[in-house]
Amino acid sequence: MKPRTVLHVDLDAFFCSVEARLNPQLSGIPFVVGGSPRSRGVVASASYEARRYGVRSAMPTAQAIRLCPKLIVVPPRHSTYGEVSDQIVERLRVAAPVVEQLSVDEAFLDASDDPRPGQEIARLLKASIAEEFGLPSSWGVASNKLVAKIATTVGKPDGLVVVPAGQEVEFLRPLPVEMLWGVGPKTQARLAELGVATIGHLAELPEEILKSELGSHGMELAARARGEDNRPVVDAYEPRFLSGETTYPSDVSDPTILQQTLLEISEDLGARLRKVERAASTVRVKIRWPDFSTLTRQKRLSQPTDQDGEIYETAKALFLRLWSRGKAVRLLGVGVSELGPPSRQLQLFDRSWAEDGSLLRAVDAIRAKFGKESIQRASGMASDGKIRREDPSEPSRR
């Protein structure tokens, strides 16, 4: 039987990496994302520069500052981290048929059916995350989840470690036993009493000693020490939020370009909602100005939608509340949330909604086959979320 190809990814110091991307002045200095020491806050994430001083996540912020007096404390923005995480996971799902998201910054991918080597897939995804999101990531590639995750840990930060099938035992042998799943402080202390310091030592421990000292748990640990793990990668994904954004190569104040961006992102979001058979009840707009300050506004719809035009009109209205003519924009984004079944209560003048939805799904199918540009050339589309050249500073004509 062909060995499985399992990839594990961990976004390095994720909260801090996102903050450093949003504020480049944080790059290369010790800082943490966490609560204020005055309110008994704790560290949620520490930059690698801060970790050199012994600062760790879950540490009281006050203690972290004692270890590193010049430490900068950045308040967390969990909605932003969740949004970035969702975007990255969506990229992963394009590359692998099964993705198991473990947390906001960690996931497994099963690429067993991909003819490419796992190392190549991981290398391309790692480069894509760095290029598109400006974030470092560490990767492990192996024949199972256990070894892939440990490989990621060995390669951190910003590494890529591959363990070929059949070499699991050799890879694990010299590693400290506490790197093995299921070895907590108490188990580690008991193993130390038995002279077990590495995973290799644990794998070689006689069965009778394992049973007498650790019971059934000892047998499970010994199997893991041999690199045995038959657990499948399980995809239990249910999207909570979809978004898209554009960072311009240079700041933009042209209303036509800004509207075009809103339009294209809205079209993309509508197609993605229909693909996962979901409708959104909330639309959000995000604007970043040239000084990196960022504003967001959102609106809850009267009824959920999966249609490009409704997303676009709402996003445009939100945008106009924040933007004034001539003001430059660095980044523009649109997001949708509160996702649920694509159903709604039809009103007297709302009969076209189902018909429009059918048309949009047909367009989705054509677009998937022939590409977006060919559809626009063939149809001359200029309505309902298609290319329109009106000035976004003017009221909507629809």
Positions annotated as catalytic residues are 106
Determine contact, residues 107/89, Cβ cutoff 8 Å.
Answer: yes
Which residues fall within 8 angstroms of residue 384, CB to CB, at 6 or more apart?
A: 307, 308, 309, 356
Determine contact, residues 335/300, Cβ cutoff 8 Å.
Answer: no
Cα–Cα distance measured from residue 342 to residue 6, given in angstroms and rounded to the nearest whole number: 34
Determine contact, residues 67/46, Cβ cutoff 8 Å.
Answer: no
Cα–Cα distance measured from residue 176 to residue 188, given in angstroms and rounded to the nearest whole number: 10
Determine contact, residues 299/228, Cβ cutoff 8 Å.
Answer: no
Q: Which residues of 139-155 are buried (b: 16+ CB within 10 A; e: fewer)?
A: bbbbbbbbbbbbbbebb
**Nearest-5° Cα angle at 174, 170 to 176:** 130
Measured in whole angstroms, the distance separating CA 277 from the mean position of its chain's CA atoms is 21
Residue with tokens 């473990």: 102
